[in-house]
Structure 1
Amino acid sequence: MPGTSPSMEPSFDDSSKSGSVTTITGTVESGVESGCLVLEFEGTVYGIYGSYDASVVYAGAEVTLHGVVDSGMMTTCQQGTPFVVSEAEAAG
């Protein structure tokens, strides 16, 4: 059709995102890459991302994290299933 251009709407595959808030608890560990943090919960290793208080979430801390799994997220840490933190608190 004259005068029309193809749609360039971006499309995203949301099938890899759980979308629902999940809670994980455990001891934060240093990842294999510098500056990366991971937490193992129920046999799954999660890479920790998002905005969180670094005085609560650090290597060696016992924490409870609330957030969403985003297995399609590209990361530089190359370890664990990406977990985007929305809220973090010291466990206990």
Structure 2
Amino acid sequence: MLIRRSVVPVALLLALSAGCANNTGTETGAPAPASATPESVTTPTPADEPSVPGKPSGDGDITTLTGKIAAGVEPGCLLLDGHLLIFSDAAQKGSVKAGDQITVTGKSEPGLMTTCQQGEPFKVSSVAAG
């Protein structure tokens, strides 16, 4: 009796694996095989992207932004028109605060990692009262 109990599960397992081995993928509804030739991919160039007045282009162009500074959700984070202001000079950062009307010149750095969790990073090179 002990032999029959172990033979049935083994026979079932062999029958299932044999059915899978015969699957050639040509049945109706089976996915088509992948193409060996790669498809061409078109990546947009900066000229293809729409221009937005007052928004830095992100390709390193010097840009000027004017507006009222807002405090970010994290301490020490300052935002201007949706851009996170990154000051390399401590004196520049100390000269501005939330609520100030200013004009800044600098470069957009969209790939720069910050702890501020909001705004597109913008490296400030100069600051002037608005």
**Normalised TM-score (structure 2):** 0.52
Structure with a larger share of its residues in strand: 1
Using the alignment, how far apart are the partners of 1:54 and 1:72 within structure 2?
Answer: 21
Residue in 2 that maps onto 1:7: none
- Unpaired runs of 5+ residues, structure 2, are 1-45, 47-56
Larger Rg: 2
**Normalised TM-score (structure 1):** 0.72
Which 4+ runs in 1 deviate beyond 6 A?
Answer: none
1:89 maps to amino acid? A
Structure with a larger share of its residues in helix: 2
Contact 2:70–2:79 under 8 Å retained in 1: yes
Percentage of identical aligned residues: 44
Relative contact order higher in (CA < 8 Å, ≥ 6 apart): 1
1:57, distance to aligned residue in structure 2 (A): 2.1
Q: How many residues align?
A: 73
Residue in 1 that maps onto 2:9: none
Contact 1:56–1:63 under 8 Å retained in 2: no
- Unpaired runs of 5+ residues, structure 1, are 1-14
Measured on the aligned residues, the alpha-carbon RMSD in Å equals: 1.8
